[in-house]
Amino acid sequence: MAAPPLLTLQSIALTFGGTPLIVQADLTIAPGERACLVGRNGSGKSTLLRIAAGLVEPDRGKRFLQPGTTVRYLAQEPDFSGHASTLAFVEAGLGPGDEPYRARYLLESLGLTGEEDPARLSGGEARRAALAQALAPEPDILLLDEPTNHLDLPAIEWLEAELKGSRSALVLISHDRRFLEALSRATVWLDRGVTRRLDQGFSAFEAWRDAVFEEEERERHKLERRIAAEEDWLRYGVTARRKRNVRRLAGLHELRRRHRDHRGPVGSVSMAASEAEASGTLVAEAVRAGKAFDGRPIVRDLSLRLFRGDRLGIVGPNGAGKTTLVNLLTGHLAPDEGSVRLGATVTLNLLDQRRAALDPDRTVAEVLTGGGSDTVTVGGQSRHVVGYMKDFLFAPEQARTPVGVLSGGERNRLLLARALANPANLLVLDEPTNDLDLETLDLLQEMLADFAGTLILVSHDRDFLDRVVDTVLVSEGEGRWVAYAGGYSDMVAQRGAGVQAQPRLPAKPGPRAAEPRSAAKPAARRRLGFNEQHELKTLPARIAALEAAAGKLRTALEDPTLYARDAARFETLSRGLATAEADLAAAEERWLALELLREELEG
């Protein structure tokens, strides 16, 4: 017999400022639950999570928490007031029966000492301290709102492993696809104020969502045809019948009301980058470039060429010097040694992840137009600012809204709108995915795929890196940066570890810092083992079989009537496709790792 749920939200409704935010929301959290809460920016996800945490009272509906159940909620903006240090902040969240050692253990695991002054924390440090406070008591339920925001890749991967081993039930809100896919086993979709639940992880969500939208569109067309038929009957039917059949006339009014009140999917962002005249073939070149601050090498002996159309991803832990590296490559910072030069006719556009370029007192329209005008020039053409705002999901009345009252997602969309309006052939995006919903990320990815210029992307989003870049530049520590072909997953396969791996340096650095790396290579092995040889020989056939199986499942799911005819079969096929795609990715990764090992051993 299944254990009773720990927390239940039933028929929740909430209205802000006269507009219903949540209309009919249900949420059930069972022991050991692993659920992600997804939806567009502004759909009410964070509000629903706060209702679940007991911090917001709904207008209607019930919240039931099993007696004795402990809940911890990670807010996007933690409150550190009244705490002298990060350790004191974390310890304040512990209960009488909790283990005190966990506070310091979690802080140290997240790269903090516990002695930091909360008033002086950076965004990433504040998020780490808040995570430590939420995780320390090992609660029955963890409600996490964007836990990966402001975290670097080592911290994200540590958190992922920690949550996998946790016994707490989880409800996650995140824009990080890879994080959601790794941790979720159920998906709750908040759409137009109503929740829907899928008893599968996030990997199956997007196919399910698209099928729901297609079914809604078919139903809308059916409704329109019924309205047209009823109007035709009233207009051209027998006069006596038309006068007498009041019930049918009332039915027509009801159909019209349903059509009028139907809320389709929230509009999508329309993105297109304004492109300047094409740059020369060589966009940037670094020759044995180096840069140091206070004696600490940030970039050392870097030689790199960036050509027109290249997509370069830059990854590394916080403090590795990613921003310094970008400034060197774009000419904003002179190297201490070596040389860096930009190619001919390079026009740069930079998206600042800190949003420092936004004046909180200026309005949305002033940010886009520069003030004194109602038009914005996009791609050489003049457009009214309100029309351009709509492309990025801003309502017309927000034109006079001060930047300071916008949400994080709205500010990021505004920065994107301004950056993409300026002609450029070199686009530098520093953490562009922060606070964006998944649909907007998809459209940003498509825009970057269509962009004919060159891209430099700094990001901690592993999935986004895989989808967008063709080369990854990784910090190996001590100012060394190494380039790997492909996306983030390709880099991990070639390097043998993700960004969390520390550089293998000798205790006392000497002139040959690369020697310990060569010792770690499997060069001493004369040949592949029997099992590895067998895998390398049989994996291509397995990959082909998995591709064929996935192709058949995709073909079956492309049937537009399948969901309406047999929802259970649709979900079975969706699960099968998610499994096949995961197996295919694992097989391809394994083949690549073995092939690289074979090439290395054969010289």
Alpha-carbon dihedral of residues 359, 365, 366, 371, nearest 10 degrees? 180
Assess whether 81 and 156 both reside in one domain: yes
Q: In this model, does residue 43 exceed pLDDT 60?
A: yes
How large a percentage of the chain has pLDDT more than 70?
Answer: 82
* 312 close to 471: Cβ distance less than 8 angstroms: yes
- Measured CA to CA, the distance from residue 306 to residue 285 in angstroms comes to 6
Residue for token pair 């007192």: 361
Kindly report the length of the chain.
603
- Three-state SS for 354-416 is CCCCCCCCCEHHHHHHCCCCCEEEECCEEEEHHHHHHHCCCCHHHHHCEHHHCCHHHHHHHHH
In a domain, 275, yes or no: no
- Measured CA to CA, the distance from residue 357 to residue 367 in angstroms comes to 10
Alpha-carbon dihedral of residues 327, 333, 338, 344, nearest 10 degrees? 70
Q: In this model, does residue 517 exceed pLDDT 50?
A: no
Assess whether 197 and 223 both reside in one domain: no
- Measured CA to CA, the distance from residue 503 to residue 256 in angstroms comes to 67
pLDDT digits (tens, 9 = 90+) for 418-437: 877 777 888 898 888 877 77
- pLDDT band at 274, cuts 50/70/90? low
Q: Which distant-in-sequence residues (6+ apart) come within 8 Å of 229 by Cβ?
A: none
Assess whether 349 and 463 both reside in one domain: yes
* Average pLDDT of the residues of the chain: 81
- Measured CA to CA, the distance from residue 449 to residue 223 in angstroms comes to 38
Assess whether 292 and 396 both reside in one domain: yes
For 487, the 3-state DSSP assignment is coil
Of 181, 90, 88, the closest CA to residue 135 belongs to 90
Q: Which distant-in-sequence residues (6+ apart) come within 8 Å of 370 by Cβ?
A: none
Assess whether 398 and 430 both reside in one domain: yes
501, burial (CB in 10 Å: exposed 0-12, middle 13-18, buried 19+): middle
Assess whether 351 and 434 both reside in one domain: yes
Paired tokens of 42: 């502004």
- CATH number of the domain that residue 167 is part of: 3.40.50.300
Of 327, 418, 407, 434, the closest CA to residue 366 belongs to 418
In a domain, 288, yes or no: yes
In a domain, 273, yes or no: no
Assess whether 23 and 160 both reside in one domain: yes
- The DSSP H or E segment spanning 571 is helix 567-601
In a domain, 277, yes or no: no
Assess whether 400 and 441 both reside in one domain: yes
In a domain, 327, yes or no: yes
Domain tally, the chain: 4
Assess whether 233 and 197 both reside in one domain: no
Angle (nearest 5°) at CA 328 between 488 and 501: 35
Q: Hey, what amino acid is at 194?
A: V
User: Can you give the pLDDT at residue 293?
Assistant: 87
Of 541, 539, 542, 523, the closest CA to residue 531 belongs to 539
In a domain, 242, yes or no: yes
Q: What is the mean pLDDT of residues 426-454?
A: 82
φ, ψ at 83 (rounded to 5°): -120, 130
Q: Hey, what amino acid is at 281?
A: T
* 220 close to 262: Cβ distance less than 8 angstroms: yes
Assess whether 413 and 371 both reside in one domain: yes
Question: Can you give the pTM of this predicted structure?
Answer: 0.68
Assess whether 228 and 167 both reside in one domain: no
Q: In this model, does residue 22 exceed pLDDT 80?
A: yes
Paired tokens of 211: 């099928």
- The DSSP H or E segment spanning 72 is strand 71-74
Q: In this model, does residue 512 exceed pLDDT 70?
A: no
Roughly how many angstroms between the first and final C-alpha of the chain, as a whole number? 60
* 58 close to 127: Cβ distance less than 8 angstroms: no
Q: In this model, does residue 356 exceed pLDDT 60?
A: no
Alpha-carbon dihedral of residues 453, 390, 206, 50, nearest 10 degrees? 120
Alpha-carbon dihedral of residues 233, 237, 243, 247, nearest 10 degrees? -30
Q: What is the mean pLDDT of residues 396-409?
A: 81
Using the 8-state DSSP alphabet, how is residue 595 labeled?
A: H
- pLDDT band at 235, cuts 50/70/90? low
Residue that is last in its domain, among 487, 521, 555: 521
In a domain, 596, yes or no: yes
- pLDDT band at 521, cuts 50/70/90? very low
In a domain, 272, yes or no: no
Assess whether 527 and 406 both reside in one domain: no
Q: At what angle do helices 246-261 and 205-236 cross, to 10 degrees?
A: 150
State which residues form the domain around 587. Answer: 523-601
- pLDDT band at 236, cuts 50/70/90? low
Angle (nearest 5°) at CA 580 between 499 and 539: 75
Residue that is last in its domain, among 476, 496, 521: 521
User: Can you give the pLDDT at residue 54?
Assistant: 94
Of 314, 266, 264, 306, the closest CA to residue 282 belongs to 306
Paired tokens of 199: 């008893």
* 189 close to 39: Cβ distance less than 8 angstroms: yes
φ, ψ at 167 (rounded to 5°): -90, -5
Q: In this model, does residue 83 exceed pLDDT 50?
A: yes
E-assigned strand segments in 146-225:
169-173, 186-191, 194-198
pLDDT digits (tens, 9 = 90+) for 360-378: 888 888 888 887 788 887 7
Phi-psi category of 138—alpha, beta or left, where left has phi over 0 and alpha has psi -120 to 50?
left
Cα 506 from chain centroid (whole Å): 37
- How many other CB atoms are there within 10 angstroms of residue 148's CB atom? 25
Angle (nearest 5°) at CA 421 between 416 and 427: 65
Q: What are the DSSP calls for 424-459, one per residue?
A: BSEEEEESTTTT--HHHHHHHHHHHHH--SEEEEE-
- Measured CA to CA, the distance from residue 131 to residue 68 in angstroms comes to 22
- CATH number of the domain that residue 575 is part of: 1.10.287.380
- pLDDT band at 527, cuts 50/70/90? low
